[in-house]
């Protein structure tokens, strides 16, 4: 009986932890969408495809092949999101991420992300209060390390995505070699 109860207890704890991990991941994904990070990288993907189309313009790659490659954008963005979740996890608690999301949902947060030059005095005050909070201090204190980590993630992710696209083009008989 003790074994059964122990098993059920461990199962419930594991299930609860998985739910927390998923909630953390989902909240980070909301955060990177609200703060403009997701859109920035979506533009990077679009620019990569524009560049590839220019590089392969003499190869007459059919639109169907380009459409197939571009369909991988969603999966690629999901992979990037998971990488970013891992980066956030190293620096911020779930409560920190929730606090960031609350900031980015606010008028001050939206103005900061979309047009920082138009911050009102009230917006600046709200942002000042946020950055004086524990979460704000964590952001400021980790900014340099996070920027380095984000740069590494960006480099790894974008080069993997580019190599994958070139490999798929090669598999279909389209290479840049003469």
What average pLDDT does range 112-125 have in this prediction? 96
Please report which confidence band the pLDDT of residue 1 belongs to, taking 50, 70 and 90 as the band edges: low
CA-wise closest residue to 69 among 167, 175, 178 = 167
What average pLDDT does range 15-35 have in this prediction? 80
What average pLDDT does range 143-158 have in this prediction? 96
Please report which confidence band the pLDDT of residue 14 belongs to, taking 50, 70 and 90 as the band edges: very low
Please report which confidence band the pLDDT of residue 2 belongs to, taking 50, 70 and 90 as the band edges: low
Instruction: Specify the range with the lowest mean pLDDT, choosing from 3-12, 55-64, 154-163.
Output: 3-12
Residues sharing a CB contact under 8 Å with residue 171, sequence separation 6 or more, in sequence order: none
Exposed e or buried b for every residue in 75-89, given b needs 16+ CB within 10 A? ebbeebbebbbebbe
């Amino acid at each position: 009986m003790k074994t059964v109860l122990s098993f059920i207890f461990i199962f419930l704890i594991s299930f609860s932890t998985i739910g927390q991990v998923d909630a953390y991941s989902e909240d980070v994904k909301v955060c990177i969408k609200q703060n403009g990070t997701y859109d920035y990288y979506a533009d990077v993907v679009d620019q990569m495809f524009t560049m590839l189309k220019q590089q392969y313009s003499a190869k007459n790659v059919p639109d169907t092949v380009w459409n197939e490659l571009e369909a991988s954008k969603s999966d690629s963005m999901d992979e990037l999101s998971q990488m970013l979740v891992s980066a956030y996890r190293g620096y911020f608690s779930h409560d920190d991420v929730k606090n960031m999301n609350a900031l980015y949902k606010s008028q001050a947060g939206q103005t900061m992300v979309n047009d920082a030059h138009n911050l009102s005095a009230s917006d600046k005050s709200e942002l000042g209060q946020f950055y004086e909070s524990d979460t704000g201090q964590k952001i400021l204190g980790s900014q340099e390390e996070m920027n380095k980590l984000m740069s590494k993630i960006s480099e790894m992710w974008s080069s993997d995505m580019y190599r994958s696209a070139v490999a798929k083009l090669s598999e279909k008989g389209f290479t840049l070699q003469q």
